[in-house]
């Protein structure tokens, strides 16, 4: 295949976001096949991979909707003078050859979770139009789906032709898998964080603490029986403002048992050192961290709303709280999981067995196949 110039578009890049990590793996997979990578973005945080051309789009506005519209216009103009054979978006916008569908259906959320008057707002009009530009029946954009539950929604609202929807397997990095020296890493980690042998470390990972349900986690820990609560500690990691949640922890009497850390690159150490991953999200298109926990051998407690929650159930490596969500159910299940050492050991073994046989690592290569094939 003749080398191509591929333009990738995303509003924001930072090293610890799930969408951003998917973008980077896919762009690197295309580059490894001999193609040139140009990235249009409003913000780039972190190192730039060798050979990447990163274009910081110089637009601003008082609202995100206006800023994103100006971003689209600027990129379109630049592509007229510096064409690309493929334009790949990780946010919904007009003019894409391929879209990576990390975000859930906006129209469905607007109609089911918002007041009807919301659909009169300028914000709604912008995001609805941008979603229609990707999924509408007259669009030519090929769509990379990472959650099978989204396809019926896009077909419902936009009559999106099925042949434009390409379902990808999850893209779990192999460096999240438990290495041979996992027990030694776990022991070193727990010494570093002053965790006794019978202490229980709960881990919550994900930017957007509200969406990921950190408030639910704090309530569930506060509701633990006193003996379990004294042994339990929570570390939450994410790129978000922790002020509100630190206040909630203080109000619940958990300040000494909760740490909230910024996003970081040594997540595997935390996955190996913890006893349970908590992820009681309010909404979650996929939930990559659920699979990252499983392949590290960490049992999971999550909510059924997460697109990847079914993997937890299929692996029998934790518990999924059913919808509609009830806080008392989370409280009860958390206490049961923490109080049963043998069950957690069994879940850990089943998670590691799942990691050996599941097709959850080929997302980037499959995405590159679609991006580089002859487009309709």
- Give the pLDDT confidence score for residue 124 in this predicted structure: 97
Asked if the model's pLDDT at residue 1 lies above 90, the reply is: no
- Give the residue among 173, 171, 176 at the shortest CA–CA distance from 269: 176
ω into 324 cis (within 30 of 0)? yes
Output the six-digit token pair for 116. 């009807």
Q: Tally Cβ neighbours within 10 Å of residue 169.
A: 15
Angstrom distance (rounded) from CA 13 to CA 46: 8
Radius of gyration of the chain from Cα atoms?
Answer: 21
At 101, phi and psi to the nearest 5? -85, 75
Q: Do the first three CATH levels of 5-171+361-372 and 174-357 match, i.e. the same topology? A: yes
Q: Which contiguous run of DSSP H or E holds residue 210?
A: helix 209-212
Q: pLDDT of 53-88, one tens digit each?
A: 999 999 999 999 999 999 999 999 999 999 999 999
Asked if the model's pLDDT at residue 376 lies above 80, the reply is: no
Tokens 């958390």 correspond to: 334
Give yes or no for a contact between 61 and 46, defined as CB atoms under 8 angstroms apart. Answer: no
As a whole number, the mean pLDDT across the chain is 95
Q: Which contiguous run of DSSP H or E holds residue 278?
A: strand 276-279
- Give the pLDDT confidence score for residue 188 in this predicted structure: 97
Segment 355-359 mean pLDDT: 91
Q: Which fold has domain 174-357?
A: Rossmann fold (3.40.50)
Tokens 């064409």 correspond to: 83
Angstrom distance (rounded) from CA 295 to CA 360: 10
Q: pLDDT of 293-347, one tens digit each?
A: 999 999 999 999 999 999 999 999 999 999 999 999 999 999 999 999 999 999 9
Q: What is the pLDDT confidence band of residue 359, given thresholds at 50, 70 and 90?
A: confident
Q: Give me the residue spans of the domains in the chain.
A: 5-171+361-372, 174-357
Whole-structure pTM value? 0.81
Asked if the model's pLDDT at residue 375 lies above 80, the reply is: no
Q: pLDDT of 187-211, one tens digit each?
A: 999 999 999 999 999 999 998 999 9
Under DSSP, the state recorded for 282 is: S
Q: Is 194 left (phi over 0), alpha (psi -120 to 50) or beta?
A: left
Q: pLDDT of 331-343, one tens digit each?
A: 999 999 999 999 9
Secondary structure tally for the chain: helices H, strands E: 16, 15
Domain 5-171+361-372 has CATH 3.40.50.2000: yes
Beta bridge partners of 232: 200
Tokens 């339990």 correspond to: 232
């Amino acid at each position: 295949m003749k080398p191509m110039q591929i333009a990738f578009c995303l509003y924001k890049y930072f090293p610890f976001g799930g969408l951003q990590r998917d973008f980077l793996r896919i762009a690197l997979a295309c580059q490894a096949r001999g193609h040139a990578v140009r990235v249009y973005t409003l913000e780039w945080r972190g190192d730039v991979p060798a050979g990447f051309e990163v274009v910081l789009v110089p637009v601003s506005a008082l609202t995100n909707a206006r800023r994103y519209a100006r971003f689209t216009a600027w990129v379109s103009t630049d592509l007229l003078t510096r064409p690309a054979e493929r334009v790949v978006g990780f946010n919904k916008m007009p003019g894409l050859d391929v879209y990576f569908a990390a975000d859930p259906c906006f129209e469905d959320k607007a109609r089911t979770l918002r007041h009807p008057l919301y659909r009169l707002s300028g914000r709604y009009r912008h995001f609805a139009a941008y979603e229609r530009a990707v999924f509408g029946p007259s669009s030519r954009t090929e769509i990379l789906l990472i959650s099978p539950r989204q396809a019926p929604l896009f077909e419902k609202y936009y009559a999106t032709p099925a042949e434009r929807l390409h379902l990808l397997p999850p893209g779990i990095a192999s460096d999240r898998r438990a290495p041979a020296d996992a027990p030694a890493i776990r022991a070193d980690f727990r010494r570093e964080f002053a965790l006794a042998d019978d202490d229980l470390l709960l881990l919550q990972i994900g930017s957007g603490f509200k969406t990921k349900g950190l408030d639910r986690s704090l309530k569930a820990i506060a509701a633990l029986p006193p003996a379990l609560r004294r042994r339990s500690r929570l570390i939450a990691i994410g790129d978000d403002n922790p002020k509100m949640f630190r206040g909630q922890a203080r109000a619940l009497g958990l300040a000494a048992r909760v740490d909230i850390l910024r996003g970081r690159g040594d997540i595997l150490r935390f996955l190996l050192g913890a006893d349970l991953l908590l992820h009681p999200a309010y909404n979650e298109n996929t939930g990559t961290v659920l699979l990252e926990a499983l392949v590290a051998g960490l049992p999971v407690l999550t909510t059924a709303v997460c697109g990847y929650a079914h993997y937890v159930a299929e692996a029998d490596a934790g518990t999924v709280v059913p919808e509609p969500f009830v806080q008392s159910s989370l409280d009860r299940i958390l206490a049961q999981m923490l109080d049963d050492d043998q069950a957690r050991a069994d879940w850990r073994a089943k998670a590691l067995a799942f990691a050996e046989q599941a097709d959850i690592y080929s997302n980037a290569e499959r995405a590159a196949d679609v991006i580089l094939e002859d487009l309709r």
